[in-house]
Structure 1
Amino acid sequence: MVHEQTDGGPAHGGPPDVRPSSSPPLPPGARLLGLAGLIPFVAGALALALLDDPARGAAARVLAGYAAVIVSFLGGIHWGLGFARTRAPTTMFLWGIVPSLIAWVALLLPPAAGLVLMATMLVLCYGVDRAVYPRLGVAHWLPLRRTLSVVAVLSCAAGAWFA
């Protein structure tokens, strides 16, 4: 879902929505905290690769649960971005709940299928953000988002393979 510009911008007589090409640096600690957020993904995938049943089943549920939290968080970011706008389109808020609902469904599936759905949602969330962030002036977050998404997707895919 691509969010349309509705809260000003040059075409509407307001300030531009997109920052100039000189984007601000990420806040201090954001990269480190983002990378720390990958620990449960990598640890979960490793646990699934190394553990035997029944511990493997528990590890799959833990990894799927963490992935669901992160997918929900990625959707929630769009609510925050929408709140910051004068007239945010409804699609921003609609997209904000879609990842949470799909993540919830994924938790109801067998672990391997749920992890595949989580990996798919992580890719979809990144794709939406890649389309939307530049229009909202937050494109400078995309390189970090790409790194975090790649590791999270690979971890979920590996977890699904071993689940």
Structure 2
Amino acid sequence: MTKIPPAPLVLGLAGLIPFVWGALTTHMPNLQAWGATHLGPRFVGPYIQLFYGSVILSFMSGVLWGFATKTSGLRATMGYALSVIPALWAFFMTGGGPTSAGINLIYGFAGLLLLDYAFHMWGLTPGWWMRLRLLLTAIVISCLAIGVYL
């Protein structure tokens, strides 16, 4: 694995803000009240985590699709097919209430990491990809787990 370039690292870390904010506002009533008043009730607690998590899983489907364009034949077909799984997972598995949606997002991000690894092993990702994805996924899953289990 090579060093993560500054731009993807900074942007990736910035993309964690809604997950971290959601975890904080789930367990800090004063912060949740401030956020609900100034940002709106859908931008605090599990609401922001669940909505943003669905958006990010869909975004990552697009990223994987882009990686699939770097190959051809059966591997490309497999790559395209696998790349739509995170978006479909978010679409079908985030209903039914905040607890089940949060648990399903945790599984979705864990599954996404497996897909990242497959694309990495096929040589379709930058050398630093797995280092970045491991870091971001660990934080996302931790924040979602705070919202679901604590």
Alpha-carbon contact 1:34-1:148 (below 8 Å) kept:
yes
Number of the residue aligned with 1:147: 135
2:121 counterpart of 1:134: yes
TM-score by length of 1: 0.74
Q: Does 1:77 align with 2:63?
A: yes
Task: Determine which structure has the larger helix proportion and give its number.
Answer: 2
For 1:118, give the aligned amino acid. Answer: L
The amino acid across from 1:133 in the alignment is H
**Equivalent residue in structure 2 for 1:65, among 43, 47, 51:** 51
Whose relative contact order is higher, 1 or 2, with alpha carbons under 8 Å and at least 6 apart? Answer: 1
Question: Any gaps of 5 or more consecutive residues in structure 2?
Answer: none
- The alignment status of 1:101 with 2:88, answered yes or no, reads yes
**Contact 2:57 2:109 (8 Å CA) reproduced:** yes
1:118 counterpart = 2:105: yes
Residue 34 in structure 1 maps to residue 12 in structure 2: yes
SS of residue matched to 2:71: coil
CA distance in 1, matches of 2:146, 2:14: 19
Offset of 1:24 from its aligned partner?
6.0
SS of the residue corresponding to residue 108 of structure 1 reads coil
- CA 1:24–1:150: 2 relative to 1, 3 Å: closer
Letter in 2 for 1:66: Y
The separation in 2 between residues aligned to 1:97 and 1:143, in whole angstroms, is: 22
- Aligned equivalents of 2:29, 2:102: Cα separation in 1: 17
Aligned residues: 139
Structure index of larger Rg: 1
Residue ranges of structure 1 left out of the alignment (5+ in a row): 1-22
* 1:51 aligned onto 2:29: yes
How much identity, in percent, do the aligned residues show? Answer: 27
> For the aligned residues, what is the CA RMSD?
2.4
